[in-house]
Amino acid sequence: MEIRLDGKKALITGGTRGIGRAISIALASAGAEIAINYHSNDNCAKEILKEITDMGVKAELIKGDASDFQFGQTLVKRASESLGGLDILINNAAISHNTPFLMLEPEEWLSAVNINVNALYSVSHPVLKYMVKQKNQGKILNITSICGVRPVAAVPVHYAMTKAAINAFTYTLSKEVGRYGITVNAIAPGLIETDFAKNLPDARSADFKKFCPMGRIGKPEEVADLAVFMLSDKNSYMTGETVIIGGGL
């Protein structure tokens, strides 16, 4: 079954690396025009912009901190004006430190809360106002984590806490905006081949593979394929759900 997103206008935060990069490429491959927010890595941003525009798909890079409310409003305004509308928002901006709770500094805690949780408000709030005003039956997809749904050994406490908050945000927001025809869902990946996984100690990676029924770490493209379906017109009745893609964990 081929899934297309032709004519759709999408905004993604944290869209130049890891899962975000894979989703950006998958959306563009399915025909969606896309505004990609990123925080700091200009080289990664330029690489993905070239890859998407080489497909003949319109794309826009917007640099800035998605957790900042003022920037969030600017981001949404620029994205909607550049693309000529907004049908889709993917909240993907995230950070994690592999730090045990008893060694965690306040700065690391606050950083995780700001980027993983506050960015949900900073970007979703103006996007929803735009969608409601334009009577746009849009879709919001939040990228969370399996550790926010069920216990996973050796996951940092602050990371799991913020991801659980995203799940609650997804469910409750869907109840509020469903009357406007807007859906809000989430994907909760297990361990995926990203910088986070690469920086894990070998022993922890080995433990994961041992207890994961699939016996391997997931690929960003596998998450992206699911995202494309969830954001397509084929997925018209699901809302408030957090879908796990974790190799059976």
Residues marked active site are found at 159
d(CA 94, CA 114): 9
234 burial type by CB count under 10 A (0-12 exposed, 13-18 middle, 19+ buried): exposed
**Which residue in 1, 230, 4, 7 sits closest to 136, CA to CA?**
7
3-state secondary structure of 88: strand
Which H or E element spans position 188?
A: strand 183-189
d(CA 128, CA 186): 16
Helix 18-29 × helix 220-231 angle, to 10°? 50
Ramachandran angles phi, psi of 10, nearest 5°: -125, 145
